[in-house]
Structure 1
Amino acid sequence: MKKSIIIILLLFGVFAQAQNKKWTLKECVVYALENNISVKQSELDIEIADIEKLTAKGNFIPSLNAGAGVSENTGLSFNPITNNAQTTTFLSASGSINMGYTLFDGLRNIRQLQRADISKLSSQYRLDKMKDDISLFVANGYLTVILNKANLEVLRSQNDVTKEQIQRTQELVDAGSLPRGDLLEIRATDASEQQSIINAENNIQISLISLAQLLLIKDYENFDIEDEGYDIVDASIADKDISEILAKAKESRSEIKIAEQSVELAEMDLKIAKGANLPTLSAFFGYNTRYANTPGFIQQVDPNNPTVTQQIGTVQGTGQAVISEFPNTFAVEVAADPFIDQLYQNDGIGYGLNLNIPILNGFNTKGSIQRSKVSLERSKFQLEQAELDLESTVYQAYVDAKGALKSYEAAKLALESQQLAYNYAKERYDVGLTNAFDFSQSKLRFDNSKIELNRAKYDYIFKLKVLELYFGIPATELKF
């Protein structure tokens, strides 16, 4: 009984721990990369590329086909063994094995295999880009939750101060040191802060649900994140020169690699299209055999009259007949040979070479080559555009990170100023030198400066991580 109770308690503890699990950012990113539908679709593209490569390799293997057939014929039919017309019912069977091999096809087989390798590499780069995008989405959603939680903490902390002020003001009003209007003003401030706290709690729930949906987690009620220990880490990336970051981005970013692979694919397609202008040489070998159960006929000499005399011609000039003796034979029906014997007796082989020289096919090959050239030029323009877009994006990310840092530093200075102003207003209010409205306005500005500092902080963290991604740091290795 005691053992059962212990096991139940242990299971309950494990269940409670699972329910109270708080996800770290790295856990969220890894989970998203393993379960996100878009990532899974990109992984399927790699599988398709593997299949294309397998098919391209198969073009170097000879084709081998076997065939067999059996039929029963009634009436006038051609005997497949004697090739004579017969009016009868007979069973026939046939079998064949054929092999073919392409010796030369304008190097198209080789080009197809090379193209399959390039296509797989391009699919891998697309998967890498998808993972980077998903990681950024997750990081942004995660930081949004942290920001909302930090704002809620600010609101609750300041509301605690407001409640203390209500008690303090109540005492001063009861003592006749302050008018009752000041107490009503402070209570109105408390009500407004309570409303802000409720809105902040709703924002947290909404951001948590959005993050859970991004991770494909359906247990919204128990989903939560680890909201401690996240600060500005390794800001040295923002101190690097923009040219260094841009060079690293061009070297490592998947956008450029995808565009480069598209150019290589277009070049390979052009070579494949040009290969259709070259002759195709193939070899073939075939083996076939047949069987029929129809009886055969043999010529047998008549034992009673073994020879017959027949005229075979005349002597030129005299007209004298030329007589000769021939065996006197007659047809005798015999049973069909055994199945195995017929397979050996009736088999045959065929082999040879086929040469196909393209001369004119309605300009199809020429049109295919022209289309491939146009596709190649388009892919080159797309590569150039991708480089320009990346350069613009990196510059924008660099400027955003610099601007976010300045905004963060300005928010810290603003908070310090608002802290001093709030302390001064509080001192004046406590001694009755200022009214409740002015004090509440000072407190509101102080609260807003804290919230703005939180926003600036996490905005800078996110934009700093975006810049690190462009510098080639993998999404799973970003530090927070």
Structure 2
Amino acid sequence: MKRLKFFILGVIFFYTGSINGQETILTLEECVLLAIEKNISIKQSELELETAEIDKSDAIGNFFPSLNIQTNHSWNVGLNQNITTGLLENLTTQYTSMGANLGVSIYRGLTNIKQLHRANLSLLAKQYQLDNMKDDIILFVANSYLQVMFNREILEVQKIQLDITKKDLERTKNLVDAGVRIKSDLLEIEANLASQEQSLILAENNLRITKINLAQVLLITDYENFDVAKEDFEVPFSEILIENPKDIFEKALSFRNDIKLAMTNVEIAENDIKLAKSSLQPSLAAFYGYSSRISYSDRLKGTGNYNFVPIGFVSTTGDQVLTSIEERETAGPLPVFDQIDLNEGHNFGVQLSIPVFNGNSARNNVERSRVNLERFKNQFEQTKLDLENTINQAYNDTKGAYKLYEASQRTVEAREKAYNDSFGRFEAGVLNSFDFVQIKQRYETAVSDLVRAKFDYIFKLKVLEFYFGIPIEI
């Protein structure tokens, strides 16, 4: 999956990149993909997910025996007994020792099973946390993207209105030259033209700022060569407003990652109580140890020849008592494997541990886990309440935004008719320039309000659809 994501990003930058100063043009889907790929908080959450996977590996490892092997080699330098002469001399002796220890947990109150269950739940929680963070990024990027499109459309409206005003100015000049209008009418139109040029500059600046804001979210530094795709679209049709807010909420409960995260935290807290209770039960473990030693010093060995040495006399007869002693000679150390066999040792057994009193720490851990469970239950209920309130608010906002959009459409139609009618009266000399400019400005304001209402409705609609499980697409 990650390889596919990197491939898509590579294609995006190959065709739309700014390697040679070319303009980077991204669609909403590409912006979302890039934001998720580059967002530092997402990267941190992914690292937390990797840590949870490692914790799960630890929990699985608890089921296996523990085996440790150790060895050391030592040099003893100084006053030591010479085995040949029996005298103390300055000698250097070497020894190698080795050993192995095996431990097996037989029973610990099912702690290993509960720890593995907790690790699985924690891994699931980290995944939900990551997915929830991605959901937030998607909404944030979509809002920033629509802000760019809104300001772009406002800029286009300003350009069109400016062109209309320039034509009005030209026609007014002709009317003044023909003696139909007075010079002050021309000045009024020129003042309106200057005002619209200011509005155009402001619209260009707003568009630039929203592009920079979106680029910063995507960690793109080449602001000048960054833009979003130009897509002409009408207000999308959606049946989401036919749904009941309660139905939207019930469906959101089934797939929203913040709900899943809160629910999983409750399950983790429930498991922690069982885990804490395990420490109150006895534990049984078995162990086995092996050790051996190797010496590199010379040794005394028998030659096979025996000498008879008197050791006393018989008290009744006075006869001498003799014993045989084998002659010995100095030889090198035994072969390594022979020494290992001769010097090996074993120890094994079982260990039973019964908790009797430990300062109430074990029982306090159980109570602490119970308190923690109640805390996560409250958090889960609060998350559901927040989601329900958010959906109700989004539903009402969307309905209100749609009504405002429809009203704005009617306002534009009425203002446009008034403007078209006023121009004929202005040319006929019935309407003065001040009133004509006022009518025209009200029409321009209505057009701008319609654009604003349009994008406000689109974003709120997309948010509501997102809570219903519909992906954000434009």
TM-score, length-scaled by structure 1: 0.89
Cα RMSD over matched residues?
2.8
2:16 touches 2:26 (CA, 8 Å); kept in 1?
no
Is residue 335 of structure 2 the alignment partner of residue 338 of structure 1?
Answer: yes
Residue in structure 1 matched with residue 251 of structure 2 by the alignment: 248
- Verify: 1:451 aligned to 2:448, yes or no: yes
Please say if residues 75 and 89 of structure 1, whose CA atoms lie closer than 8 Å, have aligned partners that are also in contact.
yes
Deviation at 1:15, TM superposition (A): 7.5
Residue 117 of structure 1: how far off its partner (Å): 0.7
The DSSP-based 3-state class of the residue aligned with 1:278 is coil
- Distance 1:352-1:302 versus aligned 2 partners, 3 A rule: same
SS of 1:409's equivalent in the other structure is helix
1:460 equivalent to 2:457? Answer yes
Superposed, which structure 2 residues align to 1:378-457 within 5 Å? 378-457=375-454
Distance (whole Å) between structure 1 residues aligned to residue 79 and residue 356 of structure 2: 46
Please state how far the C-alpha of 1:350 moved relative to its aligned partner.
Answer: 2.0
1:76 to partner: Cα distance: 5.4
Matched, 1:266 2:269: yes
Equivalent position to 2:133, from 110, 127, 130:
130
Question: What amino acid sits opposite 2:165 in the alignment?
Answer: T
- Distance of 2:365 and 2:81 partners within structure 1: 48
3-state DSSP of counterpart to 1:354: strand
What is the deviation of 1:328? 4.2
Closer/same/farther in 2, CA of residues 86 and 101 from structure 1, 3 Å limit: farther
Q: Describe the SS at the equivalent of 1:456.
A: helix
Partner residue, 2:355: 358
Paired with 2:18 and 2:361, the residues of 1 have a C-alpha distance of 68
Q: Does 1:478 align with 2:461?
A: no
Q: Secondary structure at the match of 1:177?
A: coil
Could you tell me which residue of structure 2 aligns to residue 3 of structure 1?
none
Which runs of 5 or more residues in structure 2 are unaligned? Answer: 1-13
Measured at CA, do residues 386 and 100 of structure 1 come closer, stay the same or move farther in structure 2, by a change above 3 Å? same
SS at match of 2:412: helix
Q: Which residue of 1 aligns with 2:3?
A: none
Per the TM alignment, residue 304 of structure 1 is displaced from its structure 2 partner at its CA by 5.1
> Compared with structure 1, are the counterparts of its residues 340 and 85 closer, same or farther at alpha carbon in structure 2 (3 Å cutoff)?
farther
CA–CA distance in 1 between the matches of 2:76 and 2:144? 77
Aligned partners of 2:157 and 2:207: how far apart in 1? 14
Q: Which residue of 2 aligns with 1:169?
A: 172
Alignment of 1:86-105 (within 5 A): 88-105=91-108
Deviations 1:7-64 (A, max 9, x none): xxxx999989982453211221122222222222221121111011011111111111
Question: Do residues 329 (structure 1) and 313 (structure 2) align?
Answer: no
Partner residue in 1 for 2:186: 183
Structure 1 letter corresponding to 2:472 = L
Distance 1:190 1:63 in 2: 85
Code of the residue aligned with 1:332 in structure 2: it is R
Counterparts of 2:17 and 2:312, CA distance in 1: 113
Deviations 1:287-333 (A, max 9, x none): 2110112334468898553553457xx9xxxxx89999462437735
Letter in 2 for 1:367: N
> Displacement of 1:161 after TM fit?
1.1
SS in 2 for 1:224: strand
Larger deviation, residues 300-309 vs 141-150: 300-309
Q: Aligned partners of 2:186 and 2:334: how far apart in 1? A: 121
1:96-144 Cα deviation digits (max 9, x unpaired): 1212121111111111111111011111111111111111111111111
TM-score of the pair, normalised by structure 2: 0.90
* Unaligned segments of structure 1, at least 5 residues: 1-10, 315-319
C-alpha distance in structure 1 between counterparts of 2:208 and 2:306, whole Å? 113
Deviations 1:403-454 (A, max 9, x none): 1111111111111111121112112111111111111111111001011001
Of the structure 1 ranges 240-249 and 327-336, higher mean CA displacement relative to structure 2 is found in 327-336
Q: What secondary structure does 1:41 align onto?
A: helix
Say if 1:471 and 1:86 are closer, same or farther in 2 by CA, change over 3 A: farther
Partner of 1:228: 231
Report the Cα distance in structure 2 between the residues aligned to 1:13 and 1:467, rounded to whole angstroms: 31
Give the aligned residue type for 1:471: F
1:272: how far off? 1.1
**Shift of residue 340, structure 1, vs aligned partner:** 2.6
AA in 2 matched with 1:450: V
Distance (Å, rounded) in 2 between the aligned partners of 1:356 and 1:322: 66
Query: Is this contact kept in 1: 2:307–2:324, CA < 8 A?
Result: no
> Which piece of structure 1 moves more, 296-305 or 378-387?
296-305
From the superposition, tell whether residues 86 and 379 of structure 1 become closer, same or farther in structure 2 (CA, over 3 Å): farther
Aligned-pair CA distance for 1:70:
1.0
Native 8 Å contact 2:16 2:22 kept in 1: no
Residue by residue over 1:214-261, the C-alpha shift from the partner in whole angstroms, topping out at 9 and shown as x without a partner, is: 111122111111232333224111211112101001111111111101
1:7 match:
none
Q: Which residue of 2 aligns with 1:8?
A: none
Asked if 1:38 is matched to 2:45, the reply is no
Residue in 1 that maps onto 2:118: 115
Quote the Cα distance in structure 2 between the aligned partners of 1:247 and 1:78: 88
Picking from 58, 61, 70, the partner of 1:58 is: 61
Count how many residue pairs are aligned between Structure 1 and Structure 2.
Answer: 457
Does the 8 Å CA contact 1:302/1:328 hold for their aligned counterparts?
no
1:162-219 Cα deviation digits (max 9, x unpaired): 1111111111111221110000000000000001001101111111111111111122
Determine whether 1:142 maps to 2:145: yes
Contact 2:310 2:320 in 1 (8 A): no
Question: Is contact 2:161-2:444 (8 Å) kept?
Answer: yes
1:389 Cα deviation after fit? 0.9
The 1:362–1:101 alpha-carbon spacing in structure 2 relative to 1, beyond 3 Å, is same
Q: Give the AA of the match of 2:473.
A: K
Whether the 8 Å CA contact 1:299–1:329 is kept in 2: the answer is no
